[in-house]
Amino acid sequence: MLAEPPTSSREAPETAAETAALVKGGRTSFFGYVLRLAARFPFLFIAGRLYGAEALGRFAYATMVVELVAMLATLGLKRGLAEDLARRPDDQAAAMADALLVALLASLLGAAVLVAVPELLFPATRLHPLDRWFALIIPFIALADVALAGLAFHHDVGATVRARSIIEPWMLSIAALALAFTAWQGDGMLIAYLLSMLAAFLAALAPAVRRFGWPTGWRPDPARLWRLVRRNSPLAGADIAEWGARRLDIFILGRFASAELVGIYYVAQQIASLPQRLKSSFDPILGPVLTRNLAVNNLAKVAAHIRQISFWVAAVQLAAVLSLGMIGQAGMGLFGPAFASGFLVLTVLLAVELFAAQAAVAEGALIYVARGRNLMWSAIGLVVQAGLTLWLVTLEGPVGGAVGAALALAIAALLQSVGKSRLLAATLGHPVSGWRWSLLAAALPAFGVGLLVLRTPEPIQLTIGFFAILGSYGLAIWTLGFRGADRLLFARGLKKLEADAANLPMAPVLPRD
């Protein structure tokens, strides 16, 4: 069941409308996930074949640092803006302006530091003329994230899909391909990245301006801006910890390994992290629905929504583990002969996403009901990962190097999943786990098909074999695992409920610790 039985006639349509909101967000998110998957592979192929693993490693490290600073500059507003907009329902344009101004000031400060010290972006490599100014893209990334968070508060997930799943990745791929045959080939991937982020910024800002407009009589108020920063500081801390969990491995690996190995690890990481983007695109819809129920202390319904989203995400991520992991060697070889050696890293990183699914969804509620304890668990996971990574990457043998970095991330992700799920269940007083035994039952026939696929030539594995594994799993999970509300993600005839969902009242909720 998706929620507890309604206690009144009024609650039933509201529950259905909330379900529809999550369904609509999930559908749009899945569509965006497919588009991002289709666009990410061309870029990785272009980067691997036309630029090489070493150049890709340099690109990966620089963009990692830039995205870290941009994420810091949002000051937790990617998730916290929904609560601020709910607090000011009659002054949302001003709330949006406050958030954009705070992000702009923080991002300009971060960009200035990196412009002054470009070696932080490009360590141990010769600086190119563009390198010093590469960090100026940070304000555009941060402002786009805040604008999309504001649009998502009004259930406009389509704006995020257009900006992040269509415009950004396809601009990156097309520009990288074009620049590979010019005199700018040396900086081709960096220039392509700049163009893609600028395009995504424009695609995010235009609908935000149309939705919110310019606030009448708005003026910057330092005291109000400081309250906004202080209120969202726990979210910013959780964002740092989450980013660290996703990037610390490649950061440490870059200090102990060659740029070529970093490039191979980056390709595996990009492929493996695609399912994770499905979960993150649920966040904008999940946040408003949860805050509304938390405001009226309907904890049972909050737990039910968490269970439902967790199951949907786990089902999709298990499909990725089986279909991409079992043909990993053939898939990694597409990007160049040097990349085929990273198939084991890819398999481990795909498992990481499956382990991390429950913790990531649970955190969607913990940021409202237990911010401090959620941050504590994030910090614990980060410390464990850092210690294990430093130990494993320096080992010789099959569990050292890049595989060691991936294993450290997997162990830390499993720890976070168990810890945060139990914390949320204890806080809400209801179970929140999305794991079902039907997931394992559906995986078994797909695994058997995968073993047969591995006996075929690589071209067959990458075409017929991939879809055979995916299809066998999809049929099994639909038959064995999807029941009732689970199937709403693919059902038709929800137009009225989706319209009701768009009109759901949003209520602020104060953090419980």
User: Is-contact 381 241, C-beta < 8 A?
Assistant: yes
3-state secondary structure of 491: coil
**CA angle (216 as vertex; 211, 221 as ends), nearest 5:** 105
CA–CA gap between residue 65 and residue 413 (Å, rounded): 22
3-state secondary structure of 505: coil
pLDDT of residue 494: 43
Quick one: DSSP state of residue 493? -
CA–CA gap between residue 383 and residue 374 (Å, rounded): 14
Plot region of 401 (φ>0 → left; ψ -120 to 50 → alpha; else → beta) = left
CA 239, 161, 323, 475 torsion-angle sign: positive
CA–CA gap between residue 4 and residue 59 (Å, rounded): 49
3-state secondary structure of 213: coil
User: Is-contact 124 52, C-beta < 8 A?
Assistant: no
Instruction: Report the run of H or E that residue 30 belongs to, with start and end.
Output: helix 11-46
Instruction: Report the run of H or E that residue 21 belongs to, with start and end.
Output: helix 11-46
User: Is-contact 379 241, C-beta < 8 A?
Assistant: yes
446, exposed or middle or buried, with CB in 10 Å at 0-12, 13-18, 19+?
buried
CA–CA gap between residue 513 and residue 492 (Å, rounded): 41
Quick one: DSSP state of residue 122? S
- C-alpha pair distances (Å), 27 with each of 178, 203, 470: 33, 21, 19
User: Is-contact 288 506, C-beta < 8 A?
Assistant: yes
CA–CA gap between residue 160 and residue 127 (Å, rounded): 34
What is the chain's length? 513
Spell out the residues 6+ positions from residue 509 whose beta carbon is closer than 8 angstroms to its own.
83, 86, 291, 294, 295, 368
User: Is-contact 51 106, C-beta < 8 A?
Assistant: no
Q: Tokens for 125, please give them.
A: 């490599």
pLDDT of residue 284: 58
458-483 CB burial, b ≥16 within 10 A, e <16: beebbeebbebbbebbbebbeebbbe
Spell out the residues 6+ positions from residue 177 whose beta carbon is closer than 8 angstroms to its own.
42, 46, 50
Report how far Cα 451 is from the mean position of its chain's Cα atoms.
Answer: 30
Overall pTM > 0.75: no
pLDDT of residue 475: 93
How crowded is the C-beta side of 349, counted as CA atoms within 13 Å? 30
Per-residue pLDDT of the chain (513 residues), as tens digits, is 333 334 444 445 555 556 555 656 555 555 555 666 667 778 888 988 899 888 888 898 889 889 889 988 888 888 778 777 877 777 888 888 888 999 999 999 999 999 998 888 887 667 777 888 999 999 999 999 999 988 887 777 778 878 887 899 899 999 999 999 988 888 899 999 999 999 999 999 999 888 888 888 788 888 888 888 888 777 777 777 767 767 788 888 877 777 788 888 988 888 887 666 666 656 656 777 777 778 778 888 888 888 888 888 888 889 888 998 899 889 888 888 888 888 899 999 988 888 887 887 888 888 888 878 888 888 888 889 889 988 888 877 666 788 888 899 899 989 988 999 999 999 999 998 888 889 999 999 999 999 999 999 989 999 999 999 999 999 999 998 888 767 666 555 444 434 444 444 444 444 455
- C-alpha pair distances (Å), 128 with each of 52, 57, 68, 469: 18, 15, 22, 45
Residue 92: name the closest of 18, 153, 155 by CA. Answer: 153
User: Is-contact 511 368, C-beta < 8 A?
Assistant: yes
CA–CA gap between residue 281 and residue 264 (Å, rounded): 26
Instruction: Report the run of H or E that residue 212 belongs to, with start and end.
Output: helix 188-212
CA–CA gap between residue 261 and residue 481 (Å, rounded): 39
pLDDT of residue 214: 82
Spell out the residues 6+ positions from residue 465 whose beta carbon is closer than 8 angstroms to its own.
327, 450, 453, 454, 456
